[in-house]
A = this chain, B = another copy of it.
Amino acid sequence: MKYFFLHLGLFSTLVLTAQNHSHTGDEPFQYPDIEGYLTLKTDLHMHSVFSDGSVWPDIRVQEALMDGLDAIAITEHLEYQPHLADIPHPDRNRAIALAQQEAKDHDLIIIPGSEITRSAPVGHNNAIFIGDANELLQEDALQSFKTAKKQGAFVFWNHPAWYAQSPDGNPVLSDFQKKRIAQNELHGIEVINFGAYAEESLALALEYDLAILATSDVHGLIEWDYANKGLKRPLTLVFAEERSLDGMKEALFARRTVAAYNELLIGKEAFLIPLIQAMVEIRDVSYIKNTSILRLELSNNSSSDLILENQMDYTFYESSPVVHLKAGQSKIIQVKTLEVLKNLRLTFKVLSAYTAPKVHPTVVWDIRVDTP
């Protein structure tokens, strides 16, 4: 019926306008690149009305644009389809296609994905970088994993500590999963899902060399789950050689990730330490006149607060050994070096970061003192 052409004009305008606004009070995410790699901000687990979510895929794209993400994966449950009566689509790639269409004029990468959903011991698993979601829908979960591998997918275990599948809240690695890992069919694990950090999941990631991931698993609105509660969505930071589907895929298979959720940063030392080093810029280094007190400004150019504890023999003048360096802000510290130095190895334990259960990384910054 021809009388709708004008109509379309109005409402697409409205939707586009909305994209110019970020979530209230929140800026797009900022994380610096590290030596040799781009730092890509990704959310690899989310749902729309095409499985059990409550929004059309375009909302997921707009949320990601507001947040300044580099990539998202739409990962509908293949088997769990509560809206099936209303949306009887035969093609399980449909949500991905709609997200790609919404994103086509924007600088956001849509990673094709799907969720393979079972009770324990298989559990919930996301396959991303898939070729065709339909082929993954099989009665036997084993076949789903085999097919994912055939498609070249990167597969990760979702919310391993979920109490609905593990009543003590601890992840239990089943024989099924151990075999998937052994056969290179399972490559990653969520250590953070919808706000939940499980250090036991981190232990598994380290023991079995799985990529360390954080995802929102959003079903409703990012705004309601996070921003309106003063929180930021979980992110997987991916350290890639190029900003592309291939670049991210290579990086994920190489386990080059850090999980980020508000102030919490979790990853292997090889990536977490250079990331934190890059997050802190050090400025205006000079001695207070006629003293051996070295003044310097620490500036946090990322979206994560840092809680730092002094590990040097030198103590601070005018501040606690525990420095709370908020996202996007800067702080002056004054180090009592006892004599006037030319160089200083500034050394902090990062209390808000983990490289293993209960293990905080120690990060150093080598500073040259400006001569007056």
Contacts and interface: CB of A to CB of B under 8 A. Distances in A.
Interface in A191-231: 194-200, 219-221, 223-225, 227-229
Contacts of A89: 86
A203 B223 CA distance: 39
Contact of A264 (B198, B320, B352): B320
A334 interface: yes
Interface stretch (A19-27, A145-153, A274-282): A19-27
A195 B292 CA distance: 19
A271 to B, nearest CB: 19
B291 A169 contact: yes
Interface residues of A, number: 91
Interface of A: 1-4, 6-11, 14-15, 18, 21-25, 49-50, 52-56, 58-59, 62, 79-80, 82-83, 86-89, 94, 117-119, 161-165, 167-170, 194-200, 219-221, 223-225, 227-229, 263-264, 288, 290-293, 307, 309, 315-322, 324, 334, 336, 338-339, 351-352, 357-358
Given A168-B292, A263-B320, 11 more contacts: A3-B119, A15-B219, A18-B220, A50-B86, A54-B59, A86-B89, A163-B291, A168-B291, A169-B334, A200-B315, A223-B224
